Structure 1
Amino acid sequence: MNHQGQGCIKCGSRDAEQKEVAMTGTGLSKMFDIQHNQFIVVYCKNCGYSEFYNKKSSRASNILDLFFG
């Protein structure tokens, strides 16, 4: 992939991957809000720095661009 950003803000590496994750809240939100707690985590494979993006408000196509700035 060709990303125009600067690289990881911590180490400058361009080697990043993304993965979909689900997080639970506390109390009743554990049972009822699972679909609202879907995130995409983008992480630098060099230093491990990670950022989370709400899946519903982010387009998968531009998440790596957001991570690299």
Structure 2
Amino acid sequence: MAENEKGCVKCGSTEAGTKDVSMTGSGLSKMFDVQNNRFTVIYCENCGYSEFYNKEASTGSNIFDLFFG
């Protein structure tokens, strides 16, 4: 792969997928299983390397660009 090409930071693959996940926080939200933390997960379909992006913070930006550097 050429130096200016983007790909997975672990294996260089350009095949990626996304999933949306919710997680509990701490304290009362954990006790009552309130899943108020929402993330988008970008993962490499070749090696499984994953990065989490805060769903509220990624307004309009292309998270694939962040994943591939």
Structure 1 residues 60 and 15: alpha-carbon distance in aligned structure 2, compared to 1, 3 A threshold? farther
Q: How high is the sequence identity, in percent, across the aligned residues?
A: 62
Matches within 5 A, 1:5-44: 6-30=6-30, 31=32, 34-35=35-36, 37-44=37-44
Query: Which protein, 1 or 2, shows the higher relative CO under an 8 Å CA cutoff with sep ≥ 6?
Result: 1
Structure 1 residues 66 and 20: alpha-carbon distance in aligned structure 2, compared to 1, 3 A threshold? same
More helix as a share of residues: 1
Q: Which runs of 4+ in 1 moved over 4 A?
A: none
| Normalised TM-score (structure 2) | 0.79
Structure 1 residues 39 and 9: alpha-carbon distance in aligned structure 2, compared to 1, 3 A threshold? same
Structure 1 portions without partners, runs of 5+: none
Amino acid at match of 1:56: E
| Normalised TM-score (structure 1) | 0.79
* RMSD of aligned residue pairs (Cα, Å): 2.3
- Larger Rg: 1 or 2? 2
- Contact 1:21–1:38 (CA<8 Å) still a contact in 2? yes
- Contact 1:8–1:67 (CA<8 Å) still a contact in 2? yes
Length, aligned pairs only: 65
Structure 2 portions without partners, runs of 5+: none
